[in-house]
Amino acid sequence: MGFDIRSNARPLPLAIAHRGGALLGPENSAEAFEQAKAIGAEMIETDLRLSADGALVCLHDADLQHIAGDPRLVAGTGLAELRALLPSLLTLEEAIAASAPLGLLLDIKLADPAVLPRILDAVRAADAAERVLLGLRSLDLIAAARALSQEIAILALVPDPESYEQAKALGAGWFRFWQGEATAERIVATRAVGLRTVIMVGQPRSVAIAGYPPFPVGRIDAEGIDRVLSLAPDAVMLDDPRLLLSARPVMALSSS
């Protein structure tokens, strides 16, 4: 049986493989997805951008410098060129298929709500709505997605950690905190309005921000894992889910 985002009968916190499991294989690749499955992660996170010819592709950065040593923008490069540079590149449809039967968090790196119907159509066509979590980066996008679909689960990836009540009111069911801003008080308050919580580990920016853990996005150490577990979130997003899985209480089950 595949993952069901609505189910409560799972060990918590859920292990989400960030960028497909960026320490398990090439980021956002089918190889990383397979490794995430093999080690026991419950969900895979991948990123969505648009190519120059309108393909929805799984790439994190706006440009290709980090992943391919090429300064061009993803939005300015066609799908065929992207595949030539990155043979492991996945489209949205390929990512939905490659992630099965795990949960799939789609981090939408796009601000235009016009792209949402295409994404929802691809999810429905693959009969994957019950295992997909739509990650949206603004309150306006949350409202737009909820107006289009009552069934899709939505994660608020909004920048303000105090906007959980607004996110809930607009239709989100999940709320993301960065590790450095996650507190017991915020977790409790977010749950009180009916939201599930995700902690994203590491730094939110390439230049270190004071008060955050001294690791880049997706990275964490044993001490950090222990602190995150003490906050009892519903899920944790990290590059190597094994760090969480090895420390996670065996029988911690959701009661919500």
Domain boundaries, given as residue ranges, for the chain: 14-245
CATH number of the domain located at residue range(s) 14-245 in this protein: 3.20.20.190
Span between the terminal Cα atoms of the chain, in Å = 21
Whether pLDDT at 249 is above 70: yes
The amino acid at residue 133 is L
pLDDT in the model for residue 224: 93
What pLDDT shows up at residue 2? 81
Q: What are the tens digits of pLDDT across the range 75-130?
A: 999 999 999 999 999 999 999 999 999 999 999 999 999 999 999 999 999 999 99
Q: Which residues contact 88 (CB under 8 A, 6 or more apart)?
A: 26, 29, 30, 31
Task: Compute the distance between CA of residue 161 and CA of residue 104 in angstroms, rounded to an integer.
Answer: 23
Distance CA 60, CA 107 (A): 9
DSSP for 53-72 reads: TS-EE--SSSEEHHHHSEEE
DSSP of 15-46, one letter per residue?
Answer: EEEGGGTTTTSSTTSHHHHHHHHHHT-SEEEE
Residue 202 gets which letter from DSSP? Answer: S
| pLDDT above 60 (res 54) | yes
